[in-house]
Structure 1
């Protein structure tokens, strides 16, 4: 039940009332429990009757609130305040533990470095620079679908700056894929509940962004290239001829050793891939699909390789240098940097009026000419080192269509030839 005690000032005037509501006694000790209390201060100028009436009202409301469990004792208020402060501190600590985009990007790179090549890691780092400028210090869990969508849209709609061309569609797709992979990793690691890009479709090319077709040389252009090679140093002639005939990637050529070439059978084992990054320099890894493969090289190329092997041995033996058994090396005998191959082929293209020439053009040319002239896709796929023939089909569908057309014509010549004269 509620009761009150009047509080007076030094002059003996009542200035406030302390209202109490009993909490009864402790069931174990029998001691009186600390009552609920509150202070009611009446406005100045009120009559005694008005104050009494208002005091009774306040007492009734306070007692009702106590009975509903809405009022705390001073000890309970203190404990509640402490609990609230501890909860807030805990939430602050947990919030600080949640990684920002930049912080998780660091963890993501470290995680991927355990299973991916240094070159791929370098590509990831490069592709995360622009998103980091936008999302950097944001909590990863706060980045939502619309934010990422806006980022991709901005990439697509950005106008050329300082005379530079807008970002190519392939570059935008790289940003999209890298971000999607990062967020998916965060879901797997329990950092976020859902990938914000889960429902986001791969960006489409702009209307003015015409996809660049892979550079492929015709049979007559290839004959011209091979003629030009006769004027080049034997080392480069042998290397480019091998690339044309094998369709190997530049890193696979740089990592090739003489012991892997069987000059009697023409079989060559491709088991290494030389790569380069600024951090590691040139290093050896496995081929792109992590599998070795065996290919066959034609006799004319084997003959040029034989000539180069002899010249290489004499050249480096006279200098007292070693090549480590590699077929193609730098000038001092060390392993060849794949970028050196690219630089030479570009220079070769400029020299002989073959604009845009690059190592992959030779790979594309080998595959296209082979398939267009009837080679089966499975065999070409194995020679290229693709993980699946469907990859080859997707890349060289135009060549496969031409091969099918020729096969159809051959079939027609056999089956319908007599009917034409009937």
Structure 2
């Protein structure tokens, strides 16, 4: 058993948010020893004071000073957090603070899970670039699982992850470790010295004019034959001329549509994550919230579509969902389902014989490519797409010259009208 003596504090070391000290103690038999103490914080903010005993004051003071320096510079904790524990805490923190959308949070979790499988048990303070490089090599070799079931009930086979996927994992891990450094959990972001695979950059795949024309006519055919979703052609027009994301299209409500001024306002998004479908007031980035000018042909089609929606709501009665009042609702005004819409758009593309292009996102690329080809400047294209910087647009497309968004709407409107003739 240990007991304190009156002169317990011999030396103190104040290092900003922590205290390291040495105290002199006596055992029951009268033997003197020295105890080094230092303060640490857990991930949840709890402050604790670990200690270690020494035979001499010199040893205790040296160790206390070392702990003061290491805790402040490298975040040494008595609790040995693993990389897996920290990444879980970090993703939960990003989610709780509302910094990212649910789909981005799901992406973060999947990316972290990939790395945790091969490096999750490593202590956070012992993590280095070599360990991360080994994990990336494992992911490139066998980081995924085959979609095909094993023969005779055998488990699915391990398969390689694409270099692009592993690169995305590295970016997520680097962001997590950057925050760990800010929290003083580590002394440096070791991911900056890692060597993730560098996937070859490729331009976004977009439809040719002939393919876009086929898609439009396939959508129009579903309306003239009264098959499929009523107003599907109006949605296709918006996708091909406004370049909005799927989440922005489905989150669009009539109070954000001004047909007299010929604009729509992107204010909210409708996304699907593991938690279900959710309407979010916040868009992807600050630049994602934006007005978009409409070509006249799209305005006229939306007038017709709105009249049809109003008739449906009137016929349905008081139970029709009018708050929010979706532009492309499901039955009874219900919230659109993103996966259902992806299926509808993919069906249109299959009918048109257009392959290897993502529904919605590929059409967004198509609009941007058409605008650039017709001389609209990069800044206007970037603003219309809702990119946070022109660098993103530049990486996907090319450099053109300066025109306003209204001119952009006229250009793409003329181009679209040419596609829809015949």
TM-score (norm 2): 0.69
Give SS of 1:138's match: coil
* Deviation of the 1:311 alpha carbon: 1.2
What is the SS of the residue equivalent to 1:240? helix
Give the C-alpha shift of residue 263 in structure 1. 1.4
Point out where structure 2 has 5 or more consecutive residues left out of the alignment.
1-25, 38-49, 55-63, 68-75, 147-156, 224-229, 402-422
Asked if 1:79 corresponds to 2:32, the answer is: yes
Aligned residue number for residue 122 of structure 2: 138
| Range with greater deviation from structure 2 (335-344 or 105-114) | 335-344
Cα offsets for 1:224-246 (capped at 9, x unmatched) = 22222211243211111111111
Aligned to 2:286, the other structure's residue is in SS state coil
Cα deviation, residue 74, structure 1: 10
**Aligned partners of 1:341 and 1:359 also within 8 Å:** no
Does residue 396 (structure 1) correspond to residue 397 (structure 2)? The answer is yes
Please report how far the alpha carbon of residue 389 of structure 1 lies from its aligned counterpart in structure 2 after TM superposition: 2.3
- 1:271/1:161 CA distance change after superposition, 3 Å: closer
Pairs within 5 Å for 1:306-385: 306-320=303-317, 321-323=320-322, 324-357=324-357, 358-385=359-386
Greater RCO, 1 or 2 (C-alpha within 8 Å, sep 6+): 2
1:180 aligns with 2:174: yes
Q: Deviations over 1:255-282 (max 9, x none)?
A: 1111222212212211112212222532
Structure-2 change in CA distance of 1:386 and 1:240 (3 Å):
same
Q: Distance in 1 between matches of 2:36 and 2:90?
A: 37
Q: Deviations over 1:322-366 (max 9, x none)?
A: 243210112242221333322211122123221234111111011
After superposing the two structures, state which structure 1 stretch, 82-91 or 96-105, moved more: 82-91
Corresponding residue SS for 1:80: strand
The offset of 1:102, in angstroms, is 2.3
Bigger CA radius of gyration: 1
The 1:370–1:199 alpha-carbon spacing in structure 2 relative to 1, beyond 3 Å, is same
The root-mean-square deviation of aligned C-alpha atoms, in Å, is 3.1
Higher strand share: 2
* Equivalent in the alignment of 1:70: none
Q: 1:346, 1:356 within 8 Å by CA — same for their partners in 2?
A: no
**Count, aligned residues:** 323
For residues 277 and 81 of structure 1, the distance between their equivalents in structure 2, rounded to whole angstroms, comes to 56
Are the structure 2 counterparts of residues 83 and 195 from structure 1 closer, same or farther at C-alpha, using a change threshold of 3 Å? closer
Give the Cα separation in 2 of the matches to 1:203 and 1:340: 35
Q: Choose the corresponding residue for 1:215, options 170, 194, 205.
A: 205
Partner of 2:221: 231
The within-5 A match list for 1:6-405 is 78-80=31-33, 87=52, 96-113=78-95, 114=97, 115-158=99-142, 166-205=160-199, 213-233=203-223, 234-291=230-287, 292-320=289-317, 321-323=320-322, 324-357=324-357, 358-397=359-398, 400=400
Q: What is the Cα deviation at residue 147 of structure 1?
A: 0.7
Alpha-carbon deviations, 1:289-309, whole Å to 9, x = none?
Answer: 224211111111111111111
3-state DSSP of counterpart to 1:156 = helix
Equivalents in 2 of 1:82, 1:167: separation in Å? Answer: 51
| Contact 1:254/1:328, CA 8 A, preserved across alignment | yes
CA-CA distance at 1:165 after TM superposition: 5.8
Q: CA deviation at 1:369?
A: 0.8
Deviation, 1:217, is 1.1
The two structures have a TM-score, normalised by structure 1, of 0.69
Relative distance call for 1:369 and 1:165 in structure 2 (3 A) is farther
Cα 1:229–1:154, aligned 2, differ >3 Å: closer, same or farther?
same
| Gap runs ≥5 in structure 1 | 1-72, 402-422
Aligned 8 A contact 2:211 2:354 in 1: no
Secondary structure (helix, strand or coil) at the match of 1:364 reads helix
- Tell whether the 8 Å contact from 2:118 to 2:138 is kept in structure 1 after alignment: no
